[in-house]
Amino acid sequence: MSHYKKELVQLQCALVRTQQALIASGTRTILVLEGRDGAGKDGSIKRITEHLSPRNTRVVALPKPSDREQSQWYFQRYVAHLPTAGEFVIFNRSWYNRAGVETVMDFATPSQQAEFLRDAPDFERMLIESGIVMIKLWLDISKKEQADRLTARRTDPLKTLKVSDLDAVAQKKWKAYSAARDTMLERTHNSIAPWLCVRADHKKPARLAIIRHLLQRVAPTEVVAAIDPPDPNILFPYTPEAAADGRLAR
């Protein structure tokens, strides 16, 4: 068994013990995973959920809003997927679509984007004050790594279902996505609902760091005591300097 696999199994066992405790306590937990196309969200989710209870774990990846949903309060369709007692919900992309792809692709108006950036911190504050534990992670990759991964999607028949029309513009609009990311992180990072950034060019270390951070946040004390914290060179708190000092890809 490889060193990575041994570490992964150890961490997954800790996740199982942690979920048992969360179910017993009725804790409601949200993990928000955001990142560029190809950043490794799906792979990370698979390793997190692989041995967790299907009854108490949900992965939410909403499609394009319907005409009815477009007429609703923007956050409304996400509220329907919030966790109940003992549930762990992972948003594979979330309400932050409005600050990312919708901004870059002009799917939302400037007024809608500004409204979102103003309202998102208040929305998250209300969730947290209601007792929900929320963890927000931004998975960051370099332009070259994204290009390699998107090419692999198109050439690997097992990854056909991952191919999207937006893949074709991900590289062309790289700078626009960078600018949208920087604005999103700066405007929605705060002490109540902070952003953590993950350098995800190397998938396996990134996955281990993500699981370690998740355990640090929600695992019982005795579980946390046996788990090393994530590598700070891989997973680190967002600061405005990260966008200028090379920690976040330009």
The pLDDT value given to residue 243: 85
The pLDDT value given to residue 156: 84
pLDDT tens, position by position, 95-142: 999 999 999 999 999 999 999 999 999 999 999 999 999 999 999 999
Sorted by sequence, the CB contacts under 8 Å of residue 75 that are 6+ apart come out as 95, 119, 123
With a pLDDT cut of 70, the percent of the chain lying above it is 100
Region 39-44 average pLDDT: 96
Q: Tell me which residue of 217, 196, 69, 206 sits closest to 132, measured CA to CA.
A: 217
DSSP 190-241: -SSS-EEEEE-SSHHHHHHHHHHHHHHHHS-HHHHTTSPPPPTTTEEE--GG
The pLDDT value given to residue 217: 97
Q: Tell me which residue of 207, 221, 222, 213 sits closest to 194, measured CA to CA.
A: 213
The pLDDT value given to residue 43: 96
pLDDT tens, position by position, 185-223: 999 999 999 999 999 999 999 999 999 999 999 999 999
Cβ atoms < 10 Å from Cβ of 49: 18
How far apart CA 14 and CA 55 sit, in angstroms, is: 18
The pLDDT value given to residue 162: 82
Q: How sure is the predictor about 94, in pLDDT bands with cuts at 50, 70 and 90?
A: very high
Which two structure tokens, joined as six digits, stand for 36?
């560029």
Q: For residue 168, is pLDDT > 80?
A: no
The pLDDT value given to residue 166: 76
